[in-house]
């Protein structure tokens, strides 16, 4: 699965939370704020009969996942702390919340995406092995990140960085920099960590620069992370014309 298709896949698997016949429409805004990074669309609806009242229905593209009173949902979410704005923190989940404990999150906020990229890099640092792939669009952007990736490489993480060759190569230590004019590398920003043998540590950020700004997703879905690693390795690391250079 290439990078662009991965984002399309994530968007296609978005869930809907429909709030029926609300007495207080501001509830929708409160829930939207709480679940702002979840791959979730919140909508309101009114039926001709006015029933059911104050009911939230969570659904995927194929089925209804949960039905819960809005009052109960508000009470539940008020007790669930957020995890540094990247999803919902681990806790005991009831009914609708267990389906919202997502492995995939989305955002249009570049600062939040930047934070998510740091989360991926921190996981690699903590594990201390495995492989991390980082796409910067252009080599010139890598200079500001050379300390982070040089340290990861020297710690034992296999580092592969990708970008268009618009500047001299920064010092990534034993890390490898791959220069390419591939369209997806020019358009996408990504950080993908294979978990270093620990499935629970597999994580990835993928972001796409669009006309109206950035849209990105980060995921802890091990299967999706594996697919991304496979795509990057087969496309850029095994090509006969691969332009691969190691830092000093």
| SS3 letters across the chain | CCHHHHHHHHHHCCEEEEEECCCCCHHHHHHHHHCCCECEEEEEECCCCCCCCCEEEEECCCCEEEEEEHHHHHHHHCCCCECCCCCECCCCCCCHHHHHCCCEEEECCHHHHHHHHHHHHHHHHHHCCCEEEEEEEEHHHHHHHHHHHHHHHHHCCEEEEEEECCCCCCCCCCCEEEECCCHHHHHEEEEEECHHHCHHHCEEEEEEEECCEEEEEEECCHHHHHHHHHHHHHHHHCCCCCEEEECC
Query: pLDDT confidence of 9, banded at 50, 70, 90?
Result: confident
- Name the more confident of 12 and 64: 64
State mean pLDDT over 143-167. Answer: 95
Compare 217 and 196 and report the one with higher pLDDT. 196
For the entire predicted model, the pTM comes to 0.70
Q: Is the pLDDT of residue 88 over 70?
A: no
Domains of the chain: 10-102 (3.40.30), 107-246 (3.30.870.10)
């Amino acid at each position: 699965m290439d990078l662009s298709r991965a984002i399309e896949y994530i968007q296609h698997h978005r869930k809907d939370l429909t709030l029926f016949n609300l007495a207080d429409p501001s509830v929708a805004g409160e829930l939207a704020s709480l679940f702002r990074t979840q791959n979730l669309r919140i909508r309101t609806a009114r039926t001709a009969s006015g029933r059911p009242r104050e009911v939230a229905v969570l659904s995927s593209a194929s089925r209804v996942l949960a039905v819960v009173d809005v009052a109960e949902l508000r009470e539940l979410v008020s007790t669930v702390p957020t995890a540094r704005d990247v999803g919902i923190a681990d806790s005991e989940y009831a009914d609708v919340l267990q389906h919202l404990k997502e492995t995939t999150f989305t955002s249009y906020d570049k600062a939040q995406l930047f934070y998510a990229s740091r989360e991926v890099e921190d996981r690699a640092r903590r594990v201390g092995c495995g492989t991390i792939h980082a796409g910067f669009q252009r080599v010139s952007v890598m200079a500001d990140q050379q300390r982070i990736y040089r340290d990861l490489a020297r710690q034992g993480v296999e580092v592969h960085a990708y970008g268009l060759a618009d500047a001299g190569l920064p010092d990534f230590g034993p890390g490898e920099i791959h220069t390419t004019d591939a369209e997806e590398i020019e358009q996408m920003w990504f950080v993908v960590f294979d978990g270093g043998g620990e499935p629970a540590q597999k994580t990835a950020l993928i972001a796409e620069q669009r006309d109206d700004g950035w849209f990105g997703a980060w995921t802890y879905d091990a299967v999706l992370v594996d697919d991304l690693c496979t795509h990057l390795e087969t496309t850029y690391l095994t090509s006969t014309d691969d332009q691969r250079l190691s830092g000093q």
